[in-house]
Amino acid sequence: MYSTYNGVDSALNADDISGIKAIYSAGAVRAKDAYDAAAANETTLSSGGGVAIKLGAERLVNAASTDIQQTSDRSVGMSALGASVVTWASQNQDGSGWGVFAQRYAADGATLGAAFQVNGTTLGDQIDPVVAVDPAGNFWIAWTSASQDGSGYGIYARHFDLFGNPLGGEFRVNSTTVNDQSAPSVATDLVGNAIFTWTRNSRTATAWASTPNATACWVCRRAASSASTPRRPMTKPIPRSRSIALPGTSS
């Protein structure tokens, strides 16, 4: 699994399912060739032009290499000064199924401290982590947790400062706990407030029958310095969506 250092895109390497690796690139928005040695990954990126240039060799992100480590759609984030955070799910590392881990990097790619466990609750599986870094370097990590909210999957998150210190414990993002809440996304604004989205699966609820797979996208806002978690549904149910983009935000 590989990710560009600028956080624009990530690519999976099917030949290496047990490790997370990172490639550091500058001015990178498009891979010219699937086998170009200068390309940051093996896929065409989604916007812009030019060629992604490697800055040094790829490196292994996860220290623990037993079993499987895997990333999700938004597994890397970057601050305004170039510091970055990579997050992933690791199998059988936290003592019970899957757990969420992260690693910080300096702007020059140097490792900052050791990889650390994000989830406080370890029972069952915590999977599909995503990260958003605010301009100052503080970051939010959200993930899907199995059976923790009392019914199927739920969305949990945790806030960290730029040094990787937790700003409080993990918290449940979703208020509705019936059936499954999964596939989280998170973004921050310029002062570190966060917005989360996820997919709600109402498998037996007739209210969502018109939505493909009986799913809908929900959203929750959380202040950087507040314990409140107001939430509202989208104006109408929509099919699954894994990413969000807001003006003046980073994700």
83: phi then psi, degrees, rounded to nearest 5:
-70, 145
Give the tens place of pLDDT for each residue, 101-128: 999 999 999 999 999 999 999 999 999 9
Residue that the structure tokens 């997370």 belong to = 20
Give the tens place of pLDDT for each residue, 161-174: 999 999 999 999 99
Give the tens place of pLDDT for each residue, 221-237: 777 765 434 333 333 33
Band (pLDDT 50/70/90 cuts) for residue 219 is low
Rounded CA-CA distance 31/182 in Å is: 31
Residue among 22, 21, 23, 41 at smallest CA distance from 31: 41
22 vs 245, more confident: 22
Quote the distance between the C-alpha of residue 235 and its chain's center.
25
The confidence score (pLDDT) of residue 225 equals 67
Band (pLDDT 50/70/90 cuts) for residue 50 is low
Which ranges in the chain are annotated with CATH 2.130.10.10?
Answer: 71-251
Tokens representing residue 105 in the block: 């990097």
CATH of 71-251 given 2.130.10.10, 2.60.120.260, 3.30.420.110, 2.120.10.30? 2.130.10.10
